[in-house]
Amino acid sequence: MTQRIPRAAAVPPWGLAVSAMLSVQLGSALSVHLISTVGPAGTAWLRLSAGALIFLALARPPLRSIRRHDVPAIVGLGVTTGLQTIVFLAAIDRIPLGTAVAVEFLGPLTIAAVRSHSRRALIWPAMALAGVVVLTQPWHGGIDPAGLGFAALAAAGWATYILLTQRLGDRFAGTGALSLTIPIAAVTAAVFGIPQAVGHLTLGILPVAAGLALLLPVLPYAFELLALRQMTPAAFGTLMALEPAIGVVLGLLVLHQTPSITQLAGIVLVVLAGAAAQRGGRRLPPASSVEPGHGDAREKGDDRSRSSGLAAMPPPPRRLGPQRKDELPAQSVSRQASDGDGTRSGQPGEQHERQHPQPEDQRCQRLEQLRRVPSATEPAVR
């Protein structure tokens, strides 16, 4: 008898997705204090370097699986990740966190609208852009053009990141792609970050950078991976529309950046546009891929059946467990009697004797039949 393992309280998939977004925005908010010490590029370099070490410790890079045509995408994704991290940190150093996230969100929102192949879907990026205008209030003249420019570059980087991630996600599973690209991102950020951070590094900064690396990108990736196993991409994308609002809340709580009523209305427009753009935005699997647990399992099962000679056999009857000797069906005994020795006799007398055996022979054949009936604990042949 097997012991039942107590089941732990499972976190719902939407809770994992929201936890990932909270981790991202909390890491961004806490990075502002480090930016003031080592600069945006220096912060990006330290955070990505610590993240690269963590991913390399968790997963071995799948170097043997790399093909020549994968190299441009791997290098491109690593460089994009490094540059996007730098420009986004430069943006939140100049403008409020919620505003920077709302502008950056225009990147994936545009990708979702363009990939929907519908002209109506272009309404949603326009609606989000209107929300950004209401949020930034350029007519007041208090907005930082450089901060908005860095946030717009981060939006373009996020859009490129999505396209390259989907391509590599079809080739590498789990943390394989990140163990390849995050070190490249760290090297890219080092080009700009080391000169900016030289002379400002202390022993106290290193553990802070390691903690920020856990908040972004280690924990968000783990949470997103678990959430996407239980959610459709469209549902996950709809939840991602909450990220600008989460950025506003954490900007208020951590950085004491209080938005006005008009700015809150702009955030609401961006969130609604992001949620609406995800409707019907589920990505179809590539033609060469097979959905896990369905086609792949059938193909493997068919291969096993053909190799074992079971492909042409009819499905076995439902097995209710081992039967007693006096419960064996007469048809099974008769079939065992006619085929049990591996030959078929053409003599009527022999067939009659095998169909109606003597008591001693019948006892032996029933014992043989019991030996051939699988027990309830044996694995079924698939």
The tens place of each residue's pLDDT in the chain, 382 residues long, gives 444 444 444 789 899 999 999 999 999 999 999 999 999 999 999 999 999 999 999 888 888 889 999 999 999 999 999 999 999 999 999 999 999 999 999 998 888 888 877 888 889 899 999 999 998 888 777 779 999 999 999 999 999 998 888 788 777 776 777 889 999 999 999 999 999 999 899 889 999 999 999 998 899 988 988 888 888 877 888 888 999 999 999 999 999 999 999 999 999 999 999 888 876 444 444 444 433 433 333 333 333 333 333 233 333 333 333 344 444 444 444 444 444 444 444 444 544 444 555 555 565 555 555 444 443 333 333 3
Please, is 175 exposed, middle or buried when counting C-beta atoms within 10 Å of its C-beta (0-12, 13-18, 19+)? buried
Q: What is the pLDDT of residue 379?
A: 34
Residue pair 211/23 in contact (Cβ under 8 Å)? The answer is no
Q: How far is CA 216 from the centre of its chain?
A: 16
Please, is 226 exposed, middle or buried when counting C-beta atoms within 10 Å of its C-beta (0-12, 13-18, 19+)? middle
